Amino acid sequence: MILGFYRLLTTLGGPLIRQYLQRRLARGKEDSIRFAERLGEAGLPRPEGGLIWLHAASVGEAVSMLPVVAALQKRATVLVTTGTVTSAAMMKDRLPKGAIHQFVPVDRVAWVRRFLDHWKPDLALWVESEFWPNLLVETAKRKIPLVLLNGRISARSFRRWLKMRGFIGQLLSCFVLCLGQTEEDARRLATLGAANTACLGNLKFAAPALPADEAALAALLTELGDRPRWLAASTHAGEEALAGRVHKALAVPGLVTLIVPRHPNRGAEIAAELRGLGLNPALRSLGEPVGDLYIADTMGELGLFYRAAPLVFVGKSLIGEGGQNPLEPARLGASVLFGPHMGNFADIARRMQEAGAGIQVATERDLVAALSLRLAEPALMATEGDRAEQFASAEDGVLAAVIEMLGPWLPD
């Protein structure tokens, strides 16, 4: 009943959906050049032969699937869809040669059918928990095998879905296989109606280290010299001001606080906020030299700053909920700190703490204390960085296991 109502609503609501998309376009949240892709119109011709469609919601999910894309290219052309402008820019730089990126069509039946009519995928792979009803139902109707990769159902989502078991059961029945990030995710998927579930490990462990331009890294390291430093990575609104207050509280001579916001277009806003605290931040986008606070408001340079900072706080975890990926700094040997709100990476965060590969701080005051201790003891930072790097490479075999399990549905 809910599914039928949703399909009717998205069909009749076409004019309102278009108005909503136009407002997003005006705010820069849609790509003006490739906007037609959001309406299901292909931006490129379909190549001949087998085609595997992989859909990931945004940057984090898409980046975690890059090793999967590379492995699947041995069997067919891979089409990757995402929904955000930021993820499209990232995929342009990082997709393996020969793979295709398109914006995912908005979930209206007509636009979904237009997309499927053009691309005719032989296999569809969906990542984590992106359950768009029309996309799933229309794909399954065409007898295209659907597989959920790295499926994630948080405790909060699980409680919500339990109240709509009929609806979520219909959606999960579209999948021929659901692979959970963890055993608990697989159990929750089965409880909600998925018929074929398993857990082979978390594909985030298979992601390669974030890239960095060697010349840019050499220049940054030269500029930083031997000054003590820490990085607030993938920060969200409120955490940059927090980083500024922490910088003042640390009072370490020569300290550099590096800030890489999750959304680089907020750079000027962040700088104004920090100036309001009596600080004098520099903006990388303006080519300003590194000062006491340095805002890296540029695209695709997080790997550069992870390599430049031996001590990293992972954002969206003290202010906000869900956290960002702690494996990214861990893979590059950083001492990793994060707040209590790591719901999107709960299992990884818990296991990192148990292995001594990550430290959770509960409050801003705790963050000051944790940073102060490590800045004063470089040997402790190095030990924790070694543990983090070892932890991040602990499940290197998960990619091969997943590709093998996909075997029955891969194109010839």
What's the pLDDT tens digit per position in 54-74? Answer: 999 888 889 889 999 999 999
* Cα separation, 185 vs 187, whole angstroms: 5
Find the angle CA(384)-CA(387)-CA(391) to the nearest 5 degrees: 140
Residue with tokens 């600080």: 279
- Judge whether residue 388 has pLDDT over 90: yes
The SS3 assignment for 68 reads helix
Is 370 within 8 Å of 384 (Cβ atoms)? no
If 0-12 CB within 10 Å is exposed, 13-18 middle and 19+ buried, where does residue 45 land? exposed
What average pLDDT does the segment 225-245 reach? 97
CA distances, 33 to each of 37, 38, 112, 271 (Å) = 9, 11, 20, 30
Domain locations along the chain: 7-202+396-409, 214-392
- What pLDDT sits at residue 320? 78
Strand order in the sheet with 197-198: 100-103, 77-82, 51-55, 123-127, 146-151, 177-180, 197-198
Task: Report residue 204 CA to chain centroid gap.
Answer: 10
8 A C-beta contact, residue 102 and residue 37: yes
Q: Is the pLDDT of residue 380 over 90?
A: yes
What pLDDT shows up at residue 195? 93
87, 93, 37: which is closest to 57 by C-alpha?
87
Two tokens, residue 125: 């792979």
Assigned architecture for domain 7-202+396-409: 3-Layer(aba) Sandwich (3.40)
Asked whether the predicted pLDDT for residue 363 surpasses 90, the reply is yes
Residue 207 has pLDDT above 90, yes or no: no
Q: How far is CA 293 from the centre of its chain?
A: 26
Helix (H, G, I), strand (E, B) or coil at 101: strand
Element (H, E) at 265: none
| Residue-wise pLDDT tens digits, 317-329 | 999 788 999 999 9
pLDDT band at 148 (very low <50, low <70, confident <90, very high): very high
Distance separating alpha carbons of residues 260 and 212, to the nearest angstrom: 14
pLDDT of residue 1: 78
What residues contact 116, with CB distance under 8 A and at least 6 apart? Answer: 138, 139, 142, 144
Cα separation, 195 vs 189, in Å, equals 9
Q: Which amino acid does the sequence have at 411?
A: P
User: 218-252 burial by CB neighbour count: b if 16+ within 10 A, else e?
Assistant: eebeeebeeebbbbbbbbbbebbbbbbebbeebeb
Burial 370-383 (b: 16+ CB within 10 A, else e): bbeebbeeeeebee
pLDDT at residue 63, rounded to an integer: 86
| pLDDT for 130 | 86
Rg (CA), the chain: 22
Q: Which of 265-269, 281-285, 294-298, 392-396 has the lowest mean pLDDT?
A: 392-396
Q: Which two tokens stand for residue 234?
A: 């993938």
Rounded distance between C-alpha atoms, residue 36 and residue 39, angstroms? 5
The answer to whether residues 283 and 238 touch, using CB atoms and an 8 Å cutoff, is no
Q: What is the pLDDT of residues 157-166, one digit of tens each?
A: 999 999 999 9
> Which residues belong to the active site?
61
Tokens 């053009």 map to which residue? 118
* Residue 170 three-state SS: helix
Query: Same fold for the domain at 7-202+396-409 and the one at 214-392?
Result: yes
Q: CATH classification of 214-392, choosing from 3.40.50.2000, 3.90.550.10, 1.10.760.10, 3.60.20.10?
A: 3.40.50.2000
Q: Is 348 exposed, middle or buried (CB count within 10 Å of its CB: 0-12, 13-18, 19+)?
A: buried
Is 282's pLDDT higher than 90? yes
pLDDT at position 395 is 83
Percent of the chain at pLDDT > 70 equals: 100
Mean pLDDT of 285-298: 96
Q: Which amino acid is at 287?
A: G
Quote the pLDDT of residue 236: 94
Res. 412: pLDDT tops 90: no
